[in-house]
Amino acid sequence: MAKLKFPSDLKYARSDEWVRVEGDIVTMGISDYAQDALNDIVYVDLPSVGQKFSKGDSFGSVESVKAVSDVYAQVSGIVFAVNDELSSNSELVNSDPYGEGWLVKFKIEGAGDFADLLDASAYEEYCQNR
Amino acid sequence: MSYIPHTDIERQQMLAAIGVTTIEDLFDAVPASHRFPKLAIPAALSEMEIAAEMQALAESNEHAGDFALFRGAGAYHHFVPSVVNHILMRGEFYTAYTPYQPEMSQGTLQATYEYQSMMCALTGMDAANASHYDGATSLAEAVTVAMEVTRYKRNKIILSPGIHPQYREVVRTYHQGRDLSIFGDETGQAKIQDLIALLDENTAMLAVAYPNFFGQIEDLKILAQKVHAVGALLVIVANPMALALFKSPGDLGADMVVGEGQPMGVGLQFGGPYLGYFAIRNEYVRKIAGRIVGETVDMDGKRAFVMTLRPREQDIRREKASSNICTNQGLMALAAAVYMSLMGKNGLRKVAELCYHKAHYAAHQIDQLPGFQVDRSLPFFNEFVVKCPRSVQSINDSLIADGIIGGYDLGNDYPHLQDHMLLCVTEMNTKAEIDTLVQKLGALS
Amino acid sequence: MKYNEPLIYEISSPGRIGVNLPVCDVPESELPADLIRDELGLPEVGELQVVRHFVKLSQLNYAIDKGFYPLGSCTMKYNPKINEDVARYTGFAGLHPMNDEDSIQGALHVMYTLQNWLAEVSGFDAVSLHPAAGAHGEFAGILMIRKYHLDRGDVSRTKILVPNSAHGTNPATVTMAGMTVIELPSDHNGDVDLEALRAVCEGPEREHIAGMMITVPSTLGLFERGILKIIDMVHQAGGLMYMDGANMNALMGIVKPGELGFDVMHYNLHKTFSTPHGGGGPGCGAVGVNSKLKPFLPMPWVDIVEPADHEDEYPLYGFVKPEKTIGRLKAFHGNFGMHTRAYAYIRAYGGEGLFEVSKHAVLNANYVRSQLKDTYKIPYNRACGHEFVIEAHLDGAESIHALDISKRLMDYGIHPPTNYFPLIVPEALLIEPTETETKETLDEFIDAMKQIAREAKENPSLLTSAPHTMPVKRLDEVRAAKQLVLCCAPIMKGGTVE
């Protein structure tokens, strides 16, 4: 198994989403660990731009031949952009989970609360112990 | 001993191999206080005794073999070509399990794929699943899909009172534990315009029947646009036989088409097993519950078929699955596939036209009878409503003595339709039967 | 047998038809032109072509009628032929479900009697034949439990305990009923972890426990040794006990779940009572209840509405609506065609014969287990019920998975056992021989399994590339899920109807 990556500039949820905060825009995807566990991803279900979610809501799902994983909003906000490329190239989530395989961008509503998220080393340790 | 093939010698050899003396020794884990209760069930019968007993029970019923049948109301007496039953009796089909091992199940898988394709053609949808239990549970599952599509942020469902009363009951049973409100069928008299007036931003779906329970084709032209304008889904509950004649629900803008597939190759059999068909537009296909077969290739690149979209099913998703459905009505879907193959596009159309012409002939004759009045306010297919000069029960009691099973008593479900009978005419009803019905009704006016 | 059978659409030719239809014997009425469709994409095929097409498709299938089918948890026993004939008697097959009740007494007698026999087999007060499948019966059961608590004003009981070895329908059913799952671990013997159960039953969730779902014997094929304790603990906490009766084939005449204290269970008539699986259905998931839940049974339910005047006469039967019913779960009365078959099946055995069924189902499973235990790892190696589980790790053949063994079995003309279930056993193969198989058949299977174990070590690629003799090789399931070709739209765009 290739070594899994945990970029240090991101924050991670225990439900395996990663989060990149840039001003009031938050980009989210699933971690290298999650894509590896799911294996060949065949479909990504994403919300529409303008939909509103609260922190903890499921906003979509990532599906392989053997499993479906819900993905959860790590901030409350409005969907600002979705990665349309995934509708025809879902394998990008496997090949480049932190780059071209991103899922959605949220525009934060109110103050973002990231206190429950892990940094890269804590998340890596969390994954190793599962 | 019935279907257990063991000889005494084999039993002894097997027990010795296991290392016990009697079969009873294998049940030590069962609490001794409750072990080996007697079963008070009558002693075994031979095969010929079983056949005789059940033949007598069967013949004590008043069935379509002995009576002219003019009752529909969700279960239809259509002609089933001999080929259908001969194919269903193939042990390779009916004694197989769900095709979880595709290499050993290409027959079931391809037949299911063909069934799905033909249902798409009939409904004008992009995908159909391998079937639900019946038309009613198909509708209940459509509600779940609509909730999923709108991500459980909407909790209002609108049901036309023209949907089969039992289907509406089933939707309520299925969703009693969920936060869901059902509107539209309270008085039993709402028209399409009244349903449109109920649409709002909290509506997940609106469902109508086509034809409706009264056999009528309501005007659905603007419905889809109105439903979609509030972001809801349109579900059309359709009699597939009518779809051979009338515009496809896809043409009318439906997002899901569900219904009872029984009219196509499945006998009446006292209400089941039937066939809940379920078809959907491409954009929602991944929300579909139940089995679905897709085309792929094997390692050699050869075309083959396999169950797909599996991860959403209960055995993998467990408590996160949107439905617990596990079986489909596999053999009934096969019956429908064989039936549609035999009929083809011209045969199915012809059967539908026969139904239409015979029903209209009967309606016209009955409408002439004093005291009887046919509801001609809307076009109808093979069922129509007749206002009667006396109770439906008394009319049916009289008809049965003449070898006729009369129409369904609408007063059972619709308080405003006391003394209204729902009559059904299919290709199975000859002109002579219809003329007798008319004559007997005439004597009751 | 290897051949490509084209799609029915691919043998379609304009103008062909596979059935002779009558001419219209009434004056034709005008069709409402603006409502009529002008296209219909169905194939056009002659009768013989249709017959050959579907016969060839049937030959691509494997089935009980062809050979051994030890598919664990599915009870693939012989489906007696007489049952097929009985279900097709015109008086049953041609009976309209909306007939008046006095004209369906024969059918109601079958249903009423079958209800009572099933109740007797498992010690319940009442049985409803209404649910169409096992999962449908589970749904009925959980809705009854839910409504029972609500009816008593006990509104906080919304959680159902489910062991982690359970079939996926159990937790999915709980969600469908709008309730939530508390998952319970299994102990090292494969039984429910009693300490974990005690912790839940005596902990903060106590007041929220609506009930527990448990399969007996468990999905590992084992009879839960602490069953009486489990039932007692859940009852003490105020919950009701649901038994998943999928494995009832191990219990007839062995023990009655109702007598153990279960409040509700479902039967799979398509497993225990031999109604055929039909390539995936139809089934019947009858549901049995004790007196507590009887008022909540789904409707309609068959009862005697007027007793017989004389002992040798039939009473008058009717459909009744149980007082506090959860409602109707499907249109009409249930999968009646399964009721007639199950009735004929029970008639062929009688009470004593059903006891023999379960005894021999258990004998066969234990015999196979005894013959495979030195070749394969059997994680819970004690006397099993009607099935047992293998952990398909073979020493010296680490690259081989349960799936490879399964695929290789096909080359021996045997259907594989259930793969990867229950989930708590890695590389699980769940083997259920059923009582209708001879010792010779079991010995053939045992020999094949031993031979495959040797092949795994000597020539593993024989397994990883299996099957070799089936109509198709292993399939590209990723492609099927990604590209989603669900109907043959490009070739079915049929022209106008003539």
Q: Is B96:C61 a contact under the CB 8 Å cutoff?
A: yes
Measure C183 CA to nearest chain B CA, in Å.
Answer: 10
Chain A residue nearest residue C477, CA to CA: A65
Are A43 and C477 an interchain contact pair (Cβ–Cβ within 8 Å)? no
Are C481 and A42 an interchain contact pair (Cβ–Cβ within 8 Å)? yes
Q: Cα separations (Å) of C392 from C134, C189, C277, C389, C463?
A: 28, 18, 27, 9, 13
Q: Is B162:B210 a contact under the CB 8 Å cutoff?
A: no
Map residue B235 onto helix, strand or coil: strand
Pick C279's closest partner by Cβ from B5, B60, B93.
B93
Pick C96's closest partner by Cβ from B75, B89, B273.
B75
Chain C residue nearest residue B410, CA to CA: C98
Q: Is C202:B350 a contact under the CB 8 Å cutoff?
A: no
pLDDT tens digits along C77-105? 999 999 999 999 999 999 999 999 999 99
Pick B311's closest partner by Cβ from A47, A58, A64.
A64
Chain A residue nearest residue C484, CA to CA: A42
Q: Is C360:B4 a contact under the CB 8 Å cutoff?
A: yes
Task: Give this complex's ipTM.
Answer: 0.97
Residues in CB range of B80: below 8 A, 6 or more apart: B265, B266, B267, B335, B339
User: Is A83 at the interface with chain B, CB within 8 A?
Assistant: no
Measure C483 CA to nearest chain A CA, in Å.
Answer: 8
Q: What does the pLDDT average to over C179-200?
A: 94
pLDDT at C3 over 90: no
Are A68 and B316 an interchain contact pair (Cβ–Cβ within 8 Å)? yes
Question: Where does residue B393 rank: exposed (0-12), middle (13-18), buried (19+ CB within 10 A)?
Answer: middle
Chain A residue nearest residue B307, CA to CA: A65
pLDDT tens digits along C431-462? 999 999 999 999 999 999 999 999 999 999 99
Measure C203 CA to nearest chain B CA, in Å.
Answer: 23
Q: Return d(Cα B38, Cα B25) in angstroms, integer.
A: 18
Q: Which residues of chain B are within 8 Å of residue C406 when distances are taken between CB atoms?
A: 101
Q: Is B23:B15 a contact under the CB 8 Å cutoff?
A: yes
Q: Which residues of chain A are within 8 Å of residue C482 when distances are taken between CB atoms?
A: 42-43, 90
- pLDDT category of residue C190 using cuts at 50, 70 and 90: confident
What residues does A18 pair with on adjacent strands?
A12, A29
Task: Spell out a b/e string for B370-385, using b for 16 or more CB atoms within 10 Å of the CB, else e.
Answer: eebebbeebbbbbbbb
Are B311 and A70 an interchain contact pair (Cβ–Cβ within 8 Å)? no
In order along chain B (445 residues), what is the average pLDDT of each group of 10 residues?
91 98 96 96 97 98 95 98 98 96 97 97 96 97 94 93 98 95 96 97 98 98 97 98 98 98 98 97 90 95 92 78 84 98 97 98 98 97 98 97 97 97 98 98 92
Pick C475's closest partner by Cβ from B102, B344, B347.
B102
pLDDT tens digits along C388-426? 999 998 999 989 999 999 999 999 999 999 998 888 888
pLDDT at A1 over 50: no
Q: Which residues of chain B are within 8 Å of residue C256 when distances are taken between CB atoms?
A: 34, 37
Average pLDDT for chain A? 91
Query: Between C105-122 and C336-372, two packed helices, what is the crossing angle to 10 degrees?
Result: 30
Q: What does the pLDDT average to over C251-272?
A: 97
User: Is A65 at the interface with chain B, CB within 8 A?
Assistant: yes
- Interface residues of C toward A, Cβ cutoff 8 Å, are 477-478, 481-482
Give φ, ψ of C252 to 5 degrees. Answer: -65, 120
Query: Between C439-458 and B8-18, two packed helices, what is the crossing angle to 10 degrees?
Result: 40
Q: Is C317:C124 a contact under the CB 8 Å cutoff?
A: no
Looking at residue B313, its pLDDT comes to: 76
Are B134 and C12 an interchain contact pair (Cβ–Cβ within 8 Å)? no
**Domains within chain B, CATH numbers bracketed:** 68-80+344-442 (3.90.1150.10), 82-339 (3.40.640.10)
Q: Return d(Cα B196, Cα B158) in angstroms, integer.
A: 9
Measure C162 CA to nearest chain A CA, in Å.
Answer: 21
Average pLDDT for chain C? 95
The domain ranges of chain A are: 11-110+118-128
Measure A2 CA to nearest chain B CA, in Å.
Answer: 25
Q: Return d(Cα A70, Cα A47) in angstroms, integer.
A: 12
Phi-psi map region of C240: left, alpha, beta (phi>0 left; psi -120 to 50 alpha): beta
Between chain A and chain C, the number of residue pairs with CB atoms below 8 A apart is: 12
- pLDDT category of residue C374 using cuts at 50, 70 and 90: very high
Are C279 and B89 an interchain contact pair (Cβ–Cβ within 8 Å)? no
Identify the CATH number of the domain defined by range A11-110+118-128. Answer: 2.40.50.100
The 3-state secondary structure of chain C, one letter per residue: CCCCCCCHHHHCCCCCCCCCCCCCCCCCCCCCHHHECCECCCCCCCHHHHHHHHHHHHHCECCCCCCCCCECCCCCCCCCHHHHHHHCCHHHHCCCCCCCHHHCHHHHHHHHHHHHHHHHHHCCCEEECCCCCHHHHHHHHHHHHHHHHHHCCCCCCCEEEEECCCCCHHHHHHHHCCCEEEEECECCCCCECHHHHHHHHCCCCHHHEEEEEEECCCCCCCCCCCHHHHHHHHHHCCCEEEEEECCHHHCCCCCCHHHHCCCEEEECCCCCCCCCCCCCCCCCCCEEECCCCHHHCCECEEEEEECCCCCCCCCEEEEECCCCCCCECCCCCCCHHHHHHHHHHHHHHHHHHHHHHHHHHHHHHHHHHHHHCCCCECCCCCCCCCCEEEECCCCCCCCCCHHHHHHHHHHCCCCCCEECCCCCCCCEEEECCCCCCCHHHHHHHHHHHHHHHHHHHHCHHHHHCCCCCCCCCCECHHHHHHHCECCCHHHHCCCECC
- Residue in C8, C83, C249 to test binding to B, most B beta-carbons within 10 Å: C8
Are B95 and C228 an interchain contact pair (Cβ–Cβ within 8 Å)? no
- Residue in C482, C483, C484, C485 to test binding to A, most A beta-carbons within 10 Å: C482
Are C481 and A90 an interchain contact pair (Cβ–Cβ within 8 Å)? no
DSSP A2: P
Q: Cα separations (Å) of B114 from B107, B282, C10, C495?
A: 11, 17, 11, 18
Measure B311 CA to nearest chain A CA, in Å.
Answer: 5
Looking at residue B284, its pLDDT comes to: 94
Nearest of B173, B102, B180, B171 to residue B140 by alpha carbon: B171
pLDDT tens digits along A19-51? 999 989 999 999 999 999 888 899 999 998 999
Measure C402 CA to nearest chain B CA, in Å.
Answer: 13
Pick B269's closest partner by Cβ from C19, C93, C487.
C93
Question: Where does residue C493 rank: exposed (0-12), middle (13-18), buried (19+ CB within 10 A)?
Answer: exposed
Q: Which residues of chain A are within 8 Å of residue B286 when distances are taken between CB atoms?
A: 43, 45, 63
Q: Which residues of chain B are within 8 Å of residue A47 when distances are taken between CB atoms?
A: 151
Question: Where does residue A50 rank: exposed (0-12), middle (13-18), buried (19+ CB within 10 A)?
Answer: exposed
Nearest of C44, C21, C48 to residue C497 by alpha carbon: C44
Measure B209 CA to nearest chain C CA, in Å.
Answer: 15
**Domains within chain C, CATH numbers bracketed:** 8-59 (no CATH), 83-348 (3.40.640.10), 359-480 (3.90.1150.10)
